[in-house]
Structure 1
């Protein structure tokens, strides 16, 4: 039992704590808060008091600061403590704000109607960013909780409790672990003690992942017990101590927030990071796959995301995050997309039905945990009713579409019991009444009939009493007096003798009668019993639905997959995309377009060809800024990415090999919080590429080396090109270093390309056409004019450029020609010294 001093220590601002026992409500609050602190340390407890959720003491002060609400005080003779609260009707929006601010939230609700004594309250909900299951608090995307432990490598567990998806992997390096965490955008992370105890490691982690870091239990024995409790045994795939600890801790933490229930988690899948095309977080950001690099910009996901269901959008994200390496799987998806492209009626029919479907993945998870609400059960029935129609549409389809059809189990018995049990438009929450359909439960019908008879008796009472007494009697009800008979004061002395007065107002008097009170008690008894019975009947329905979770989950997965396939087909059909062929080692794109930029420019977009093979393994692209170099690079890479998720691509024709990884180094980003300049970030990303690229990798490098001096940058850029040439990676390299174009004759397979531009009387014209050969100029001064630099600056820049060019051609260029003409085999040491002396004088003049 918490003492007054204990309350004083918690509340902080409490006054007079030693003068007597705590008020009973504050005592209850502190006891519940102690319970919350044990289960979810650091959480704010929202404590229901009538129509508000209140907080006290330090929690009140935190809530006031975080939400910007007024801080008041609860006072009595012996106590005063800070108090702040939010209306019940606005709970969800305030919970969202608290979670976004990195604060966990506990809810304690009243379990009974207020009476003369202390109202019973219990902790009903625990909210953390990574363990949300309530649809009203969730977005459509995945909502991952992550857990990280070390041992034989870095073990990562990822759980989306809203769908039951649970997977894990082991990574050899911290960088690979960080990449995977970033790609999955975990909302909350549990870190093993070895992270917490290493200040430098923890600081590095916090700098890279500004998400909520929570404390989990990583004791190996406890984690093993958790795994056995959840799955019956420790899964064989969890072969290392680190995996056991990561997976066990995430289950234990989630169980503590779900009141001990984890029925939605039925299996854990261990995946191999190398089983899909490698896309680093840097590559995903550079290619703007999920997040635009500029405010209001578009992404590849947004260009494709015409999915009809929330589950379909999540599945599309997963496909983009982990493109395939297996050719048979890619061809299976491409076959399905092509079948839907060629059959517009089938495609339109599928998409029209999916538009009416609810989020079956999350519904199945809530059914499994038996926390599904009446409205959600009705949504489940509506979604299941679509399955027979989808089955009929897919009849006769083979391949992947046939496999999807086989998983769309209709479950007519489930639909029938839901329709029989629930009214057509059930209430949102339990306890509101009017939930179970008439005729489903004879006992419930009898209670309702009895209550209805009582209400009918009450409804007729006014007319009967007016006729019996001849007085203008009114029958009414309120929560204080219940049912009562009311007359004006002028008629109060005329009421019958069986009337008993219960209230006197200024101009009216209120009465009751024994039979009215008895009938009122009967109505309340029947309605209360009916409410309890409705809850029991709905509980039985929940339990019955939970028996079908496995089939519901399979159908949910099939719906999501069908949604993505039909979406890719719709995009391909509406935008003129075509099916790519898989080649053994050649990139051939005819009239390729950038899938996102094309949407913005429409007909103004200029398509380009791209050819890469054994004799064109490296493409060095030069030309002015704004001419389209980066767009060209991204076009090739995005076509490769789309191919390996099983999508058609924005081309007239395409042949593409299967790449093992896509590496990118684009743009200028710093990490000042981590102590890294723009150039250091660039070099770190380049280092990661050079260490991991293989002959099956696709590499795009844009302006490597521009963050340092010209000579340093040029040297680094050339050395990187030479390294990738040695590796044999498919490489596209955009640069302003014209010195690199001479490598075309020195490195076999390196080819120069340029983006066409022409300096004309009205200024510089961009043609956005990629042609063979090196560009004549970078047109930097001309681009500066277009950007709006003052005329005096661009005029001076043009003059300086001419002077520097002349010097280079007349001085440095002459020296270069002299050096190239020397016969070194016949040159004596004295002659060499003489030449060096002469050249030095020329350079210093």
Structure 2
């Protein structure tokens, strides 16, 4: 049901809204209507209260319901606020152009957003963003998944205090609790007091090998990630780890040392040490502080690498300057694998790949980066310098890359040229010097005449719109309308071909996702070493 007034029935738009909303009862459905994401009924009231929006109403002949919405262009800013307030978001987009729809525009839920499953760069910080799952069996099994990078790991812990220490180290954004823990009131109250994060539900079916509690936690994480990201989501191989292999820092010590969270003021040890230049370097430093080494040998090896950057100032400055220009290759690889990479993501990838040879030359033979030269050449040949945010905006494939696309564009240019020639011809024929040909999505191509020349308008012109100081008319001849329809057809074909070319290019880049992760893993270490050296000088 939908909150509202009137005998009904619901108009088709609201029926569609209710059908989608009912599939995701725990989510706030943001429903695209033109340039806005709208909510209706009680969800509209919740949205308006949360964001301080003006509540309006959607009315039809037999039904009126509350309505509130946010502009799509400002979606990221509003989504970030809503997620921090504890909302789960389901985003329903129009999946066909309104002008091509037969009746009601088709809409589908294209994104499910929760704090622990974000992949959008605009909604994430540079730090790891963990989704955690906790189950019992032969101890506490806790597993962590960073959906944005594919990192997937876990451990078995024997006590509740050890569990709390591990959770505090990782600071998950969202937690899945097994039913036996959710139903334990004493545990649940203590847990929520210590960790005020979103709690979500998932089936805890065992997955993989090893202790039952850990297998259950793995299964819950993978189910939830595929529920929010789609069945195609595949994380990196699960990595069991032993906290005993590192220096044990209990929660109380981590708090007292202010490693990640300040007691007073804003400074933390991590904040002071973090002079890294890349997102993946920042996450590595965070991991090292989370799990300090115990043995002197590896510690000495790290110190030797820091000392090199202290001694060689030009090397340090050059490496840091280049690293600063790199995209977050680790998260970009994950978006490629999920089919979420945008045109601008591929542009960022191109710029990053251009930097890798310079880094290889600076760092020397001890750093062996994967060879991604052929992918770079493909991206250079295919992509324009300035790229749109969305594929649907078009204009992203270079002239000369795809012969079929080039031919379509040439036909379009010739069609547009015809209308420009028509403008000059009609000016000469009518004696109206201000006459011009224009175009918009409502009327298509039209002739426009300013007020002083209305008396010269030929009788065959048919007025379609009157503005303050000018009038617009349909084109006078049938052949012009036929040419206009051909331009519409060409525009649709160009859009479709650009999409095909882009998807093929993205698939080509997807095949190098593991190589991109390897490059990020290799470069994260010199980023941290150079950052610590920068602090030392």
Shorter chain as denominator, the TM-score bin is over 0.9
Q: C-alpha deviations, 1:313-340, integer Å up to 9, x for none?
A: 1111110110112333222212212222
Tell me whether 1:287 sits opposite 2:257 in the alignment: yes
User: Within 2, Cα distance between the matches of 1:210 and 1:488?
Assistant: 64
Tell me the residue number matched to 1:441.
402
| Residues 9 and 63, structure 2, Cα contact 8 Å, conserved in 1 | no
Query: Residues 384 and 410 of structure 1 are in contact (CA less than 8 Å); yes or no, is this contact kept in structure 2?
Result: no
Mapped contact 2:254–2:260 kept (Cα < 8 A): yes
Using the TM superposition, give the Cα deviation of residue 470 of structure 1 relative to its aligned residue in structure 2, in angstroms: 3.3
Structure 2 partner of 1:552: 516
Q: CA deviation at 1:194?
A: 0.6
Q: CA deviation at 1:526?
A: 1.0
- In 2, the alpha carbon distance for the partners of 1:379 and 1:393 equals 21
- The match for 1:709 is none
Shift of 1:431: 1.0
Distance change in 2, residues 1:98/1:504 (3 Å): closer
Instruction: Note the alpha carbon deviations across 1:724-771, whole angstroms, 9 max, x for none.
Output: xxxxxxxxxxxxxxxxxxxxxxxxxxxxxxxxxxxxxxxxxxxxxxxx
Counterpart residue number, 2:447: 485
SS at match of 2:462: strand
Q: What is the CA–CA distance in structure 2 between the aligned matches of 1:423 and 1:488, rounded to whole Å?
A: 38
Matched, 1:510 2:494: no
Q: CA deviation at 1:270?
A: 0.4
Which residue is 1:318 aligned to?
287
Question: For the structure 1 residues 489 and 548, does the alpha-carbon distance in structure 2 shift closer, same or farther, using more than 3 Å as the test?
Answer: closer
Q: 1:453 to 1:289 in 2, by over 3 A?
A: same
1:71-120 deviations in Å (ceiling 9; x for gaps): 22222221121211112222111111111011101111122333483122
Question: Helix, strand or coil for the counterpart of 1:126?
Answer: strand
Matches within 5 A, 1:356-505: 356-396=325-365, 402=366, 405-406=367-368, 408-472=369-433, 473-487=435-449, 499=460, 501-503=462-464, 505=466
Aligned-partner SS, 1:386: helix
Q: CA deviation at 1:144?
A: 0.5
| C-alpha contact 1:483 1:516 (8 A) present in aligned 2 | no
Equivalent position SS for 1:279: coil
| 1:489 shift after superposition | 7.8
> How far off is 1:184 after superposition?
0.6
Return the alpha-carbon distance in structure 2 between the equivalents of residues 559 and 98 of structure 1: 35
CA gap 1:108/1:487 in 2 versus in 1, 3 angstroms: same
Give the direction of change, closer, same or farther, for the CA distance of 1:455–1:185 in structure 2 (3 Å limit): same
**1:143 paired residue number:** 129
Structure 1 position 496, deviation (Å): 5.8
Matched, 1:259 2:223: no
Instruction: Report the TM-score, using the length of structure 2 for normalisation.
Output: 0.95
Q: Is the 8 A contact 2:115 2:173 kept in 1?
A: yes
1:687-766 alignment, distance < 5 Å: none
Query: C-alpha offsets along residues 41-84 of structure 1, whole Å, 9 cap, x if unaligned?
Result: x1100111122211011211211221122222222221121211
Q: Which runs of 5+ in 1 are unaligned?
A: 1-6, 225-233, 397-401, 575-845
Distance 2:464 2:310 in 1: 77
C-alpha separation in 1, matches of 2:471 and 2:307? 80
Matches within 5 A, 1:68-217: 68-115=52-99, 117-217=103-203
SS of aligned partner of 1:278: coil
Across the aligned residues of Structure 1 and Structure 2, the Cα RMSD in angstroms comes to 1.9
Asked if 2 retains the 8 angstrom alpha-carbon contact of 1:388 and 1:410, the reply is no
Give the match's secondary structure for 1:78. coil
Aligned equivalent of 1:52, options 36, 44, 50: 36
C-alpha contact (below 8 Å) 1:288/1:299 kept by paired residues: yes
- The range that moved more, 467-476 or 150-159, is 467-476
Instruction: State the TM-score, normalized to the length of structure 1.
Output: 0.61
Q: Which has the larger radius of gyration?
A: 1
* C-alpha distance in 2 between matches for 1:339 and 1:136: 35
- Aligned residues of 1:444 and 1:534 also touching (Cα < 8 A): yes
Match of 1:246 in 2: 217
Q: 1:15 aligns with which of 5, 9, 21?
A: 5
> For the Cα contact (< 8 Å) 1:489–1:509, is it kept in 2?
no
Deviation at 1:363, TM superposition (A): 1.2
Number of corresponding residues: 531
In the aligned structure 1, how far is the partner of 2:376 from the partner of 2:440? Answer: 41
Q: Pick closer, same or farther for the CA change 1:485–1:43 going to 2, 3 Å.
A: same
**Aligned counterparts of 1:191 and 1:508: Cα–Cα separation in 2:** 65
- Contact in 2 for aligned 1:156/1:243 (Cα 8 Å): yes
Q: How many Å separate the matches in 2 of 1:504 and 1:311?
A: 56
For the residues of structure 2 that align with 1:343 and 1:484, how far apart are their CA atoms?
67
Aligned position for 1:588: none
The CA distance in 2 between the partners of 1:180 and 1:153, in whole Å, is: 14
Q: Structure 1 residues 505, 320: CA separation in 2 closer, same or farther (over 3 Å shift)?
A: closer
Retained in 1: the 8 A contact 2:431–2:456? no
Q: 1:543 aligns with which of 495, 507, 510?
A: 507
Q: Deviations over 1:279-335 (max 9, x none)?
A: 112111101112221124x22112211111111111111101101123332222122
What are the residue-to-residue correspondences of 1:620-699 with 2, within 5 Å?
A: none
Alignment of 1:308 with 2:277, yes or no, is yes
User: Per-residue deviation at 1:247?
Assistant: 0.6
Per-residue deviation, 1:174:
0.8
SS at match of 2:109: strand
- 1:488, distance to aligned residue in structure 2 (A): 6.2
Structure 1 residue aligned with 2:307: 338
Counterpart of 2:12 in structure 1 is 24
SS of 2:480's partner is helix
1:503: Cα distance to partner? Answer: 2.4
Name the SS of the counterpart of 2:98 in structure 1.
coil
